[in-house]
Structure 1
Amino acid sequence: MPPGPTPSFATADKLVEVMTLEVEPIDAYTPDGKRKLDPYFRFISYFPNGKQMISGSNDKSVRRWDLKARKEIEEARVVCEKEVFVVAVSRDGRWVVAGGGGPAYDNSAELKACEVETRMTKTFQGHLGTVTCIDISMDNKLLASGSTDRTGRIWDLNTGEFVAGPFECSDRSWLEAVRFSQDSKKLAVRSGNGRCLEVWDLQAQKLDVRVGKQSGVIFPSPPLFWTKKDRTIVAAFTFSGGYPATIYEFDSLTLETVGAPFEAHTELVIGLALSFDCALLASSSHDHTIKLWAFESRELLASFNVRDPYSLILSPDSRQLAYATSEQNLGKIRICDIPLEILASTWPTPSVCIHPHSNIHPLLVY
């Protein structure tokens, strides 16, 4: 593997926060006043207009946040039957989808979509284990889900009908991340604790290509991304034992690595976000850092010391990043400005054609 570029970056003790969202969890105490829940937000996602955000939590709640008012829109809260592991917003802002299951990854599953305007909720039934990952297609018609039952399934988001699958991972591991290609014909899937990456043909319902092998213990897993007219896939991955602490770009047809890897984290990568123009990559890790990278050059632009960053996302305009953490018995979402010198260093970028709302799950067209 060729070595990455020599980093020339700014290091800081912390990011400059512009907003902190926090709330006491639902049903956090026993009747005698003892705390029974250590709250945290497992997943966060922006609405396309960047004015609102949703969060999914281990207190079984899906919360919508008004970022201008800096508070939860309480009347929009959805309380699920199971713990929430993942949330997503459709690119037209019509649907909020949540997936989850039992706290010990037991044989229970919950997958539901709530229509934002009417608050009508529909459920998707079929998984036999905790739903760990979801994605919504670019045209807002399809929903992909992955589970601890080792299968991926495709649903009609509007009708709730099961339309393709179940697709079973070749290594029979839990699915950790799923992502539609831009044309919705392929699905990228990571499993095996970042040791197995597959691309499935959804129309033919068959495996196209695979790299990696089976693993053991399950770790928290960041998303993955398609880029450049579906030519490449970006994912945290490991080709050896241990946890995925390195980020790679893969050719989507062969799953051979493309260019140098993103190497700087010393522990498991748990968060990953790609800017709408494919210029800036952000990552978070159990090494208690958030790192910003120039995507094309692989240059490490900045490294910030952050205690226990979990889910990590970039704002629709890529000028801010948000991450979830748990401090002082409260789940918190911290929103921070990206330094102007970092933004300036990633511009101008190659000429791009960007699909509307591609910031939610960035898929770029060069």
Structure 2
Amino acid sequence: MQPLTLLAACFCQLTSLWDQLQQKIMCPGPVTCLTTSPNGLYVLAGISENIYLWEVSTGNLLVILSRHYQDVSCLQFTGDSSHFVSGGKDCLVLAWSLCSVLQADPSRTPAPRHVWSRHTLPITDLHCGFGGPLARVATASLDQTVKLWEVSSGELLLSVLFDVGILSVTMDLAEHYMFCGGSDGSIFQVNLCTWPGQREKSFQPEQEHGKVFRGHRNQVTCLSVSTDGSVLLSGSHDETVRLWDVQSQQCLRTVTLKGPVTNACIMLAPVSMLSSDFRPGLPLPHFNKHLLGAEHGDEPHHGGLMLRLGLHQQGSEPSYLERVEQLQAVMSSTLEKNVLGGQDQLRIRVTELEDEVRNLRKINRDLFDFSTRIITHPTK
């Protein structure tokens, strides 16, 4: 099946599924960008200058991140769902650790792992490469540059200067090439293997490390590369979607739409998507608009298992840390009441409580390690 035929078939099937599942989920404000974690557990949305994080299975709003100063323009998870990156109109790019965000004290705003502030105009797009915590992140901006960062160290690896503003960016799976969509309709192919040791470089299409795809008549808003790196998909405000052969820079197909294209991507279609008998096994719940939704007027949800890290509670039961504190309070009270007599009985009681405290601490530590492995290594 040709790539375009596969995309059309997937679109028809998704339209059928949407007719069955469509529901309106009201958010606290206009959504400027939206993404889901690759493991399907979380949804991120940029609403004004805030980032909202929901749990898909329950619809609970877990945290609101307020570290951008202007509207959030783009969001993306790393491939293993352990980190996510946000870019905004404030020219900042923030790299977040999902584990740290979920464990943060609810009374304090979590801090990002890295703050990248080398762009001078609004961030328009970003792309997370392969590797999870070791991934490289490409960021595009209206300042006519695309920058390549390393998540593990936070270092700037490469900055490429163009002669036009850049609206979109992506890389092939092997990260040999970086594709950048310009405001004039051009698509620039940057060879990442020809600039060893250089941190800053101007793009020169006439040289061997640069090629240009020409055909769009307006700004290129989205880019996507096939898994084998042979086909490039682009969408533009000129109301067309184009498929390109990467090796020859020739346009293979052009699809004309009835309005500007804002997003498009190439994805592997699961078998169930092309089956007429496919029915989703888990309905999507309504997303709460407030933290701890039941306390702020949202309807509580029942019947699902909720797992929380750190200071989050599971249902109405006290956490292990709270039980440890209660036992320590009982120990202190027992010591005060029996300080004048019953020393033998007191020592026995204290020994029993200390054993229980140690057991509870071990359970809490094991639960934390198990939960961390689920988040950082979801496929294992």
TM-score after normalising by structure 1: 0.59
Match of 1:246 in 2: 240
- C-alpha displacement at 1:87, in angstroms? 0.4
Kindly provide the amino acid, as one letter, of the partner of residue 210 in structure 2.
D
Q: Does 1:21 align with 2:25?
A: yes
- C-alpha displacement at 1:132, in angstroms? 0.6
User: Is the 8 Å Cα contact of residues 245 and 266 (structure 1) preserved in structure 2?
Assistant: yes
Superposed, which structure 2 residues align to 1:25-174 within 5 Å? 25=29, 40-57=30-47, 59-74=48-63, 77-101=65-89, 108-119=90-101, 120-121=111-112, 122-140=114-132, 141-165=135-159, 167-169=160-162, 172-174=163-165
Distance 1:234 1:213, change over 3 A: closer
Which 5+ residue runs of structure 2 have no aligned equivalent?
A: 102-110, 196-202, 204-208, 275-279, 285-380
Which 5+ residue runs of structure 1 have no aligned equivalent?
A: 26-39, 102-107, 238-242, 281-291, 295-316, 322-366
Match of 1:187 in 2: 178
User: Is the 8 Å Cα contact of residues 82 and 110 (structure 1) preserved in structure 2?
Assistant: no
User: Is the 8 Å Cα contact of residues 209 and 253 (structure 1) preserved in structure 2?
Assistant: no
User: Is the 8 Å Cα contact of residues 138 and 148 (structure 2) preserved in structure 1?
Assistant: yes
1:122-144 deviation line (CA, Å, top 9, x unaligned):
10121110011000111232010
1:227-282 deviation line (CA, Å, top 9, x unaligned):
14111111114xxxxx3212111111222112x3233x2111112133324999xx
* Structure 2 CA distance for aligned equivalents of residues 53 and 274 of structure 1: 20
Distance 1:91 1:228, change over 3 A: closer
- C-alpha displacement at 1:53, in angstroms? 1.0
Alignment match of 2:193 (pick from 177, 192, 203): 203
Match of 2:359 in 1: none
Larger Rg: 2
Secondary structure at the counterpart of residue 274 of structure 1: coil
Match of 2:235 in 1: 236
* Structure 2 CA distance for aligned equivalents of residues 209 and 272 of structure 1: 22
Higher relative contact order (CA 8 A, sep 6+): 1
- C-alpha displacement at 1:43, in angstroms? 1.5
Secondary structure at the counterpart of residue 180 of structure 2: strand
1:78-126 deviation line (CA, Å, top 9, x unaligned):
442221000000011111110011xxxxxx4111111111235110121
Higher strand share: 1
1:52-89 deviation line (CA, Å, top 9, x unaligned):
111123x1011111111123213x53442221000000
Match of 1:329 in 2: none
User: Is the 8 Å Cα contact of residues 216 and 238 (structure 2) preserved in structure 1?
Assistant: no
User: Is the 8 Å Cα contact of residues 192 and 213 (structure 1) preserved in structure 2?
Assistant: no
Number of residue pairs the alignment of both structures matches: 247
Secondary structure at the counterpart of residue 224 of structure 1: strand
Distance 1:254 1:278, change over 3 A: farther
What is the CA RMSD across the aligned residues, in angstroms?
A: 3.4
* Structure 2 CA distance for aligned equivalents of residues 320 and 155 of structure 1: 38
* Structure 2 CA distance for aligned equivalents of residues 134 and 68 of structure 1: 27
User: Is the 8 Å Cα contact of residues 39 and 80 (structure 2) preserved in structure 1?
Assistant: no
* Structure 1 CA distance for aligned equivalents of residues 264 and 27 of structure 2: 24
Distance 1:85 1:114, change over 3 A: same
* Structure 1 CA distance for aligned equivalents of residues 38 and 266 of structure 2: 15
Distance 1:279 1:128, change over 3 A: farther
Distance 1:117 1:228, change over 3 A: closer
Kindly provide the amino acid, as one letter, of the partner of residue 77 in structure 2.
V
Kindly provide the amino acid, as one letter, of the partner of residue 60 in structure 2.
K
Match of 1:261 in 2: 254
TM-score after normalising by structure 2: 0.57
- C-alpha displacement at 1:226, in angstroms? 0.8
State the identity %. 11
Q: Which runs of 4+ in 1 moved over 6 A?
A: 7-12, 213-216
- C-alpha displacement at 1:320, in angstroms? 11
1:174-212 deviation line (CA, Å, top 9, x unaligned):
21111111111210111125x111110123245421022
